[in-house]
Amino acid sequence: MKATDSHALIVTTSRDEADLLVFILNPAGYQTTLLQDFSAVQETVENIQPDIIILDAIEEIATVFLVCEQLKKISYSADIPLIVIGSNGDTHEKVRALEAGAEGYIARPFDRAEVLCVLKSQLRRKQECDQLRKNIKQLKSENERFAQEASLKKELAAIISHDMKNPLFIIQGCLQMMEMFSESNTVGENEKHLSKIDRSCRTLQRMIVNLEAINALEEENLKVEPAPLSLKDSLDHLIDFLNDQSREDEGYLQHDLPADLPRIFLDRHLLESVLEVILNFFMKNTLEDFTVKISTQQLRDRLQLHMYHEGIQVPERFHEQIFMKAAQAELKKAGFKPAGALGLIFCKLALQANKSDVFIEKNVSTGTKFVLDFPIWQEDLVGNPEKANSNSEA
């Protein structure tokens, strides 16, 4: 710590001593504050937080020792170096000052060089101690972070393992049914089993792809190929597949988005993966005969896709956490079924990597509304004024 950065509090009842110390310290670059009342030391130290304190024991030596002891017991002053200027060079007085908590002792008569040398030495020691404490605090923080990450990895591994077991059990069960009733099964029954197997394989494939993409996105290593896309066509393709693969109790998806929507600029596979994750989240967290409402809104050079469902409402405290790894275990405990292998985390990272975003809209009375925000393809902005909101219901 340089002297020009240092603030010294001088406590003395002698005006002559105060003037002498100011005369020594100010030219050396110290900022100085004078105090003549020893009873006000604690309050003054708390208010100004000096870098070093000089206590003049020319008259009130017992009071100086008491102040030293008090300052070392208080958190905001315990680490501030205390320098006692003694009334004489008596060894007993010096020992008593050090025992009371002073870091340095200067005997009278003193000169300028001695005072500056003692202060510089103690400030250097304080700087080293401050850096050591900072390093220790940082190490503790890192250890806590590592412990939290280890716990998080364990919880996430359990979630992912559970999510992947479900489609595997379905595949295993369907294969067993086909084997047990191979002679009596009709073509329609076999097709039903094969459809479930196909759907479960696709689910597993999506989970694996999303997990790989999350890792690549976090390392900023995911390769994407953005291109002009029709949001309506992408939804049509995905909803046709999901309706074909859905169970009878999962409801039915459709939309009626206008055909003249401006195209968005995004990676096609990424867009379809994001839409599939969110629609699967709807299916997992809704009752029978659920309703999904899909609407769009153009805001200047952005196109927003609003996806609303009337299932379990995601509480506002989870609106941001639902897209974070650290909250997945808590969400599951709260009764929400994740979109398979951290799917919503993938959505957030993938869209943000493509200058897009996804979030949950606030102030929705029932159900949950996801808002996906995309950049519009520049060519579709030419001569294309803002359109009124377009809405459709499924």
- Pick left, alpha or beta for residue 229 (phi over 0 → left; psi -120 to 50 → alpha; otherwise beta): beta
Between the alpha carbon of residue 102 and those of residues 24, 82, 94, the distances in Å are 21, 5, 9
pLDDT surpasses 50 at 347: yes
Q: For position 249, what pLDDT does the model report?
A: 46
Residue 1: pLDDT band (50, 70, 90) is very low
Which residues of the chain does CATH 1.10.287 include? Answer: 148-218
Q: For position 253, what pLDDT does the model report?
A: 64
* Residue whose entry in the numeric block shows the structure tokens 């070093």: 52
Interval 263-280: pLDDT, tens: 999 888 888 888 888 887
**Residue bearing the bigger pLDDT, 315 or 1:** 315
**How high does pLDDT run on average in the chain?**
81
**Residue bearing the bigger pLDDT, 57 or 299:** 299
Q: For position 391, what pLDDT does the model report?
A: 43
Residue 394: pLDDT band (50, 70, 90) is very low
Q: What is the mean pLDDT of residues 7-35?
A: 93
| The total number of residues written for the chain in this structure | 394
Residue 149: its H or E element: helix 112-180
Interval 28-69: pLDDT, tens: 999 999 999 999 999 999 999 999 999 998 777 889 999 999
Q: What is the mean pLDDT of residues 284-306?
A: 81
> Both ends of the chain: CA-CA distance in Å?
68
Tokens linked to 254: 């459709």
Q: Which residue in 326, 323, 303, 302 sits closest to 314, CA to CA?
A: 323
Q: Which amino acid is at 104?
A: G
Residue 356 in contact with residue 375, Cβ under 8 Å? yes
Q: How far apart (Å, rounded) are the C-alpha atoms in residues 100 and 108?
A: 19
Helix axes 268-284 and 343-353, enclosed angle (nearest 10):
150
Q: How far apart (Å, rounded) are the C-alpha atoms in residues 347 and 275?
A: 9
Q: How far apart (Å, rounded) are the C-alpha atoms in residues 246 and 180?
A: 24
- Pick left, alpha or beta for residue 174 (phi over 0 → left; psi -120 to 50 → alpha; otherwise beta): alpha
CATH class of the 3-110 domain in this structure: alpha beta
Which residues of the chain does CATH 3.40.50.2300 include? Answer: 3-110
pLDDT surpasses 60 at 78: yes
**Phi first, then psi: what are they for 357, rounded to 5°?**
-160, 165
Q: For position 293, what pLDDT does the model report?
A: 84
* Secondary structure of residue 306 in the 3-state scheme: strand
Residue 392: pLDDT band (50, 70, 90) is very low
Tokens linked to 234: 């992408």
Q: Which residues contact 137 (CB under 8 A, 6 or more apart)?
A: none
CATH class of the 226-393 domain in this structure: alpha beta
Interval 242-262: pLDDT, tens: 665 554 445 556 677 888 889
Cis-peptide into 50, omega within 30 deg = no
Strand partners, 306: 295, 371
* Order of all β-strands in the sheet with 368-375: 357-360, 368-375, 302-309, 292-299, 390-393
Q: How far apart (Å, rounded) are the C-alpha atoms in residues 328 and 141?
A: 23
Q: For position 387, what pLDDT does the model report?
A: 45
In this structure, which topology does domain 148-218 adopt according to CATH? Helix Hairpins (1.10.287)
* Secondary structure of residue 35 in the 3-state scheme: strand
